[in-house]
C-alpha cells in the first residue's frame, strides 16, 4: 500500500462518544499533519508533528487530542464533540516540516456528530 | 499575518475552453505558493508550486501558474480543459523562512465545473 491512508473513511458519532481517527503514511516522511475541512471554509491546520514531536497546535479545543506514536502513524482522539465539529478531517505528511516540501494528503475521514 | 483569497468560488466552463482560476495573497514577507486539486471523495493533490526562479510554473495535467509579485497573485491556467478536470482547486501560501510562521495557509477553494 502506498501514500497516505486514513481510517475510517466515514464516522458518525454522538456527542458523548469517544472515537479515534487513524492516519498512516508509507512514504518515509518525518512530518505529519491534521487538517479540518468544513464546507465553504478554508482548510484549517490543527496539529503538526515532526519526528513524533508536536511542533504546532493551532488553538484546537481539548476535545481533540492527537497522538503520534511513530513517524508513520498519527491518531486523532475525539471525545464529547459538538455538532459543529462535523467536517472532513484530512491527514497529510511531508519529508519534513519546513516550507518547501510538498504535503501529501490522505482521502480524509468524513465525520458527522449527531 | 498572511492570507489567501480565491476570487471565484465557482467557475463553470465548457470542455476544451481555456480557464483561469484566480488567487491573490497578502504577506509582508516572501512566500512559497502552491496549487492543490481535490477530486470528489479524495484528499488534496499537489498541482504545482512556486519556490523561486522562473515566475511561470508548469504542473501536472497541463496546468500552469504565474507568480506576479507586484500584484501578489498566483493565478492558475489551463488552455483547454477536460471533463476530468472537474474538481475543487485550492491555492495556498507558506512563509519564507519557516521559522517566521511556516504553516500552509489555504484559500477557500474554487469549484471548477467542466460541462460537455
DSSP string, chain B: --EEEES-SEEEEETT--EEE-EEEE-SS-EEEEEEEE-TTS-EEEEEEE-SS-SEEE-GGG-EEEEETTTTEEEEEESS--GGG-EEEEEEEEESSGGGT---EE---EEEEEE-
pLDDT (average), residues A61-86: 94
User: CA Rg, chain A, in Å?
Assistant: 13
Helix (H, G, I), strand (E, B) or coil at A13: strand
Residues A92, B98: C-beta atoms closer than 8 Å: no
**Mean pLDDT, residues A63-79:** 94
pLDDT tens-place string over residues B62-79? 999 999 999 999 999 999
SS3 A83: helix
Residue A113 CB coordination number (10 Å): 19
Which residue bears the cell 458527522? A112
Interface residue A4 vs chain B (CB under 8 A):
yes
Residues of A in contact with B4 (CB under 8 A): 42
**In whole numbers, what is the pLDDT of chain A averaged over residues?**
90
How many CA within 13 A on the CB side of residue A107? Answer: 11
B63 vs A55 pLDDT, higher one: B63
How confident is residue B52, by pLDDT bands cut at 50, 70 and 90?
confident
Q: Is A60 on the interface with B (CB under 8 A)?
A: no
Q: How far is CA B115 from the centre of its chain?
A: 21
| Residue A97 burial (C-beta neighbours within 10 Å; 0-12, 13-18, 19+) | buried
A106 to chain B, minimum CA–CA distance in Å? 5
Amino acid at each position: 500500500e502506498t501514500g497516505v491512508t486514513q481510517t475510517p473513511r466515514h464516522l458518525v458519532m454522538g456527542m458523548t462518544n469517544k472515537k479515534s481517527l487513524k492516519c498512516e503514511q508509507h512514504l518515509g516522511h518525518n512530518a505529519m499533519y491534521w487538517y479540518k475541512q468544513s464546507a465553504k471554509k478554508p482548510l484549517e491546520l490543527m496539529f503538526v508533528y515532526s519526528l513524533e514531536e508536536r511542533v504546532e497546535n493551532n488553538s484546537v479545543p481539548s476535545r481533540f487530542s492527537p497522538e503520534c506514536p511513530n513517524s508513520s502513524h498519527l491518531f486523532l482522539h475525539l471525545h464529547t464533540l459538538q455538532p459543529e465539529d462535523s467536517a472532513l478531517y484530512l491527514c497529510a505528511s511531508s519529508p519534513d516540516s519546513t516550507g518547501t516540501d510538498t504535503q501529501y494528503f490522505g482521502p480524509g475521514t468524513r465525520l458527522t456528530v449527531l | 499575518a498572511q492570507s489567501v483569497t480565491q476570487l471565484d468560488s465557482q467557475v463553470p466552463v465548457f470542455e476544451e475552453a481555456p480557464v483561469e482560476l484566480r488567487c491573490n495573497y497578502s504577506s509582508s514577507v516572501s512566500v512559497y505558493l502552491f496549487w492543490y486539486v481535490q477530486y470528489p471523495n479524495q484528499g488534496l493533490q499537489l498541482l504545482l508550486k512556486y519556490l523561486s526562479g522562473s515566475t511561470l510554473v508548469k504542473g501536472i495535467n497541463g496546468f500552469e501558474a504565474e507568480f506576479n509579485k507586484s500584484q501578489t497573485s498566483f493565478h492558475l491556467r489551463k488552455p483547454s480543459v477536460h471533463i476530468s478536470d472537474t474538481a475543487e482547486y485550492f491555492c495556498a501560501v507558506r512563509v519564507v523562512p519557516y521559522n517566521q510562521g511556516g504553516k500552509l495557509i489555504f484559500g477557500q477553494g474554487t469549484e471548477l465545473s467542466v460541462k460537455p
